[in-house]
Amino acid sequence: MWAVVPIKGFDAPKQRLAGVLSPDERGALAEHMLRDVLAALTALDGVVVISGDEGALNAARGAGVRVMKERGPGGYSAAVGQAGEVLAGEGIGAMMHVPGDVPLITAAEVAQIAEMDVTAPGACVVPSRDHDGTNCLAMWPPDLMQPAFGPDSFNRHCQMLRDCAVVPNVLELDGFALDIDTPDDLRLFCAGQEDCGSLQYLRASGIAARMLRN
């Protein structure tokens, strides 16, 4: 099982946080979250970060993982699909998509997905906490289908899999459930008791205290 981590970049990402974080703060948070995510994936057969941003690719190289340049401006879904096609072409039997903004994922949760008893063709879908987004899409094989992320992607992916005659395995995982997209997500994250590099940055910078006052 390989992991595919799509990253837009660190140059003022997370536009929905623009009202509460400066561009530099958003960039630093994105980089810390990527480090936390990659740290949880080390036991897998391999990890590839795909991006059109050289800063993100350089950070991934520094973390010792494989990098892949996006072919074009096709967006998040196209990037995951591209990586899946490449991995399948190399004979890799399975991959999991992991967003770069789920810093609370654990190695145990990752292993729970990777070690599922799935016969190809098969898939696992892990929803976001509101059951709107897809915070992990694992596929056996990696090019089982072209993903379609965005609003309501959890239900959409489940239906797409059923249309492919594949019954989706749905897993509820606490670490994967919280992706940091909105100010409410960030406040919930800051209020948690977990310890990770992203939270250490938010606390040390004073952002966590600022968010919890508002």
Kindly give the confidence (pLDDT) of every residue in the chain, 214 residues in length, as a single tens digit, with 9 standing for 90 and above. Answer: 999 999 999 987 899 999 999 999 999 999 999 999 999 999 999 999 999 999 999 999 999 999 999 998 889 999 999 999 999 999 999 999 999 999 999 999 999 999 999 999 999 999 999 999 999 999 999 999 999 999 999 999 999 999 999 999 999 999 999 999 999 999 999 999 888 999 999 999 999 999 999 7
pLDDT of residue 214: 76
CA 55, chain centre distance (Å): 18
3-class secondary structure, 28: helix
Q: Rounded distance, CA 102 to CA 169, Å? A: 20
HSE value, Cβ hemisphere, 13 Å, CA-based, for 147 = 37
Give the domain extent around 43: 2-213
Which helix (H) or strand (E) is 88 found in, with range? Answer: helix 76-89
Q: Which pLDDT belongs to residue 72?
A: 83
Instruction: Report how many domains make up the chain.
Output: 1
Q: Which among 81, 106, 121 has a CA at the least distance from the CA of 173? A: 106
Q: Give residue 74's pLDDT.
A: 82
Tokens of 139: 């596929």
The enclosing domain of 74 has a CATH number of 3.90.550.10
